[in-house]
């Protein structure tokens, strides 16, 4: 569910950054041990709260509530402060529910896929896919007006675009990481073929296909993938072309 995806995304951000910021809630932690948040500092500013509430606890846990599509924060042994006006100390466990509306504009959901940690990409993609299903159901509802349908169509187009970018991002990162290997695959046979030439000539002969072929193809492949004209694997086009060219040149050199 969306609530479960949101909880997992929040845990992922907290593990990597020790902080999660939503529209109506922020959490800072000292550490994350499994599902346990150590020494959390939680600030909540919900629709039903006139003043922000700050909760400091020994530990806490995030639990999704599928029935209400909300996130439940279970805190243990701490205190809650209402904007400096009142302080409540509690022993044992207390719970506070936060609606998804207060979380949707948080770090993970609001960030570009390029800025997200790799371990959050799948969760974010699942979140966007579920959101698209929900929006499609709302758009198909009989009581939806034409204005509602147009607004929902715009929201669906935005989410569909982000979903594609999330699906492309792992391929884009891995293809980028393999760039140096691709350069070696084209550089080795070229340098072997031109081994009698001077160093500067060999360098430019190796660099020219990278500049003229690789980078334009890299941009083209990413555009094809992110705009939905091809599968996410299109991000590998530049690597594949240069690797194939390098293999051909090496085979040609070895037959001499």
Residue 78 bridge partners (DSSP): 57, 90
Domain hosting 249: range is 178-256
**Model pLDDT, residue 134:** 86
Number of domains in the chain: 3
Same domain, 163 and 208: no
| pLDDT value, residue 50 | 63
Residue 184: predicted pLDDT: 85
User: Does one domain contain both 8 and 95?
Assistant: yes
pTM: 0.56
Q: What is the DSSP string of 35-91?
A: TEEES-EEEE--TT-SS-EEEEEEEEEEEEETTTTEEEEEEEEEEEEETTTEEEEEE
Query: What is the structure's pLDDT at 99?
Result: 73
Contact 72, 62 (CB under 8 A): yes
Same domain, 35 and 82: yes
Q: What is the pLDDT of residue 155?
A: 84
SS3 of residue 178 by DSSP: coil
Q: 70 with 39, same domain? A: yes
List, run by run, the mean pLDDT of 10-residue segments along the chain (256 residues): 71 86 82 92 72 88 80 90 81 83 53 75 85 86 81 86 91 90 83 74 77 89 91 93 88 80
Which pLDDT does position 105 carry in this prediction? 46
Whether 104 and 119 map to the same domain: the answer is no
- Does residue 24 sit in helix, strand or coil? coil
């Amino acid at each position: 569910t969306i609530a479960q995806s949101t909880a997992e995304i929040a845990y992922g951000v907290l593990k990597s950054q020790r902080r999660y910021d939503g529209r109506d809630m922020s959490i800072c932690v000292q550490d994350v041990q499994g599902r346990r948040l150590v020494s959390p500092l939680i600030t909540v500013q919900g629709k039903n709260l006139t003043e922000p509430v700050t909760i400091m606890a020994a530990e806490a846990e995030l639990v999704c509530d599928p029935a209400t599509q909300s996130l439940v924060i279970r805190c243990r042994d701490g205190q809650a402060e209402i904007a400096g006006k009142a302080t409540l100390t509690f022993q044992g466990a207390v719970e506070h529910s936060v609606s998804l509306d207060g979380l949707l504009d948080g770090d993970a959901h609001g960030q570009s896929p390029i800025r997200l940690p790799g371990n959050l990409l799948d969760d974010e993609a699942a979140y966007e896919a579920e959101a698209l299903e929900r929006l499609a159901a709302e758009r198909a509802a009989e009581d939806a007006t034409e204005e509602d349908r147009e607004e929902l169509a715009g929201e669906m187009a935005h989410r569909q675009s982000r979903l594609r970018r999330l699906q492309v991002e792992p391929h884009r990162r891995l293809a980028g990481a393999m760039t140096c290997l691709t350069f070696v695959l084209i550089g080795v046979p070229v340098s072997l073929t031109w081994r009698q030439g001077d160093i500067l000539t060999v360098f430019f002969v190796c660099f020219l296909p990278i500049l003229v072929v690789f980078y334009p193809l890299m941009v083209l492949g990413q555009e094809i993938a992110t705009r939905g004209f091809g599968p996410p694997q299109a991000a590998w086009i530049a690597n594949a072309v240069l690797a194939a060219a390098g293999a051909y040149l090496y085979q040609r050199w070895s037959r001499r």
